[in-house]
Chain A
Amino acid sequence: MTVILMLLLLAVGVYLVAVLEAWITNGRFRLAAPVYSALSLLGRESIIPRKSDLLFFEVGPVLLLIAALLAAAVIPLSPDLIITDLATGALFLNAALAYILVALIMAGWGPNGAYAMIGGWRFLGQLVAYAMLIVMPITAVAMRAESLVTTDIVVSQAGLWNIIYQPLGFILFFFAAMGLAFLPPFDLPVAEGELAGGVESEYSGVRLAIFRLGRMVLIITLAAATVTFYLGGWQGPILPPWLWSAIKIMFVTAAMLLVGRFVPRIRETHLLAWCWKFGIPLALLNIFAVGILLVMIP
């Protein structure tokens, strides 16, 4: 029952993200826009490129969707509203998200197209940049909660949300999550204008619809992870817990989408340089600072 409810809520969330993304990118607020785009995608022919690696081509978009859904399974919307409350929740989230990379490499390599392939390998480079900035801030969060269980992590923020307790970790995680969801300005693998859609470029019809759906689920999952780790999860006064989660998740999603509107696309070399020269030392500093805080204020 919980699983069905969670999937339904996820579907509603994905729909809202699609509306929000369209609103932020082209400035028009249309509630029915995702329906039209979905119908238009599903009505079109889904072309299979010549000499493609068909297995990779077919598996890529589906794996993207599955990985994002698996990551969503350990995110709690309220103390009871969670698909599976694993003892290794925070680690499992990382494990599921690691397959986003595999999906993109498969989707990039599969169609036998230059733009798609460059897009796929670009995402690998992007992973080398963002991966540590996902894992290390989560380490500091787990240190405070003394647990990898996501519900325990939310409970540990009852007194003070992690966004205030470890703001540095929040900033790093927020941008790394944007990198993972390849949102602008980190949309290197699908860069329109320079790669003609990159990984997406050879996909059309129903396959493209699945790819885009997977990406929407990924965006909302990462926003939900940010809320769970840093914004106190379901905690808040008066309103029911699940509603607090929903409001916060939508807020974080909007923030993630909005950043891209005002920042030009970053170069891969700059992304790597910034992440390794500044991001990782800062993430280490964050772990160190949280360690000191934990020892000083038990």
Chain B
Amino acid sequence: MITAQAIFIGFFGVAAVWFGIVVFRTFSMVRSAIALLFSQTALGAMFLTMQAEFLGVLQIMMMATEMSIMAFFMVMFMMDPGGMGKMEMTHQKHFSMIAGVVAFVGAVAIAVFIDWGPIANTVADSAEQTKALGLELLGRSMLIFETAAVTILTAMIAAIAVAIKPIPREEAKDKA
């Protein structure tokens, strides 16, 4: 039986995929970034439909700022950020296609063949979920999240270092 929940999950799923396609269909870097944002927002909405309130709201919140900042970096680094010149910005097309198909088949295979265990009939209420997540984050998952956080921080610092115009050694000596 198709429930309202299933319809909504399907709707947001299709929306997520559609916006994902839009990312590569547009020439404008800002449009591309915002399309990716709405793809991720649709994923957050899927979490909400599946009654994972905290995860859904968190996903929707985090992506807004992350994708906006990404849009800014894309405008900084790309030669034709507005897509007005219809500049070709894709590369390694053949390799990308193969990689995309392999990743897609892999993801579908995992989704179909893995044993997901019994379907949960009842879901803990949202406040309980928040509490359980908090305990999880401060428990065995702490190392994973801390590692991810430090990795992202490193990437951020590296990105800024790349963005700064290097000062020639002679000038730096003069300044000092």
Contact = CB atoms under 8 A, between A and B. Distances in A.
A181 interface: no
Interface stretch (B7-15, B59-67, B95-103, B163-171): B59-67
A244 to B, nearest CB: 26
Contacts of A53: 28, 30-31, 82
Contacts of B60: 95, 98
Interface stretch (B68-76, B85-93, B107-115, B140-148): B68-76
Interface of B: prevailing SS: helix
Contact of A121 (B37, B54, B72, B125): B72
A95 B45 CA distance: 12
A102 B68 contact: yes
A67 to B, nearest CB: 9
B58 interface: yes
Given A53-B28, A109-B30, A149-B127, A92 B68 contact: no
Q: Is the interface of A mostly helix, strand, loop or mixed?
A: helix
Contacts of B53: 86-88
Nearest to B29: A109
Contacts, number: 67
A257 interface: no
B61 A105 contact: no
Interface in A243-283: none
B64 A91 contact: no
B130 A127 contact: no
- Which of A51, A88, A92, A149 gathers most chain B CB within 10 Å? A88
Contacts of B126: 86-88
Contact of A95 (B28, B34, B64, B84): B64
Interface of B: 28, 30-31, 34, 37, 53-54, 57-58, 60-61, 64-65, 67-69, 71-72, 75, 82, 84, 125-127, 129-130
Closest 5 CB pairs of A and B: A87-B126, A95-B61, A98-B64, A87-B127, A95-B60
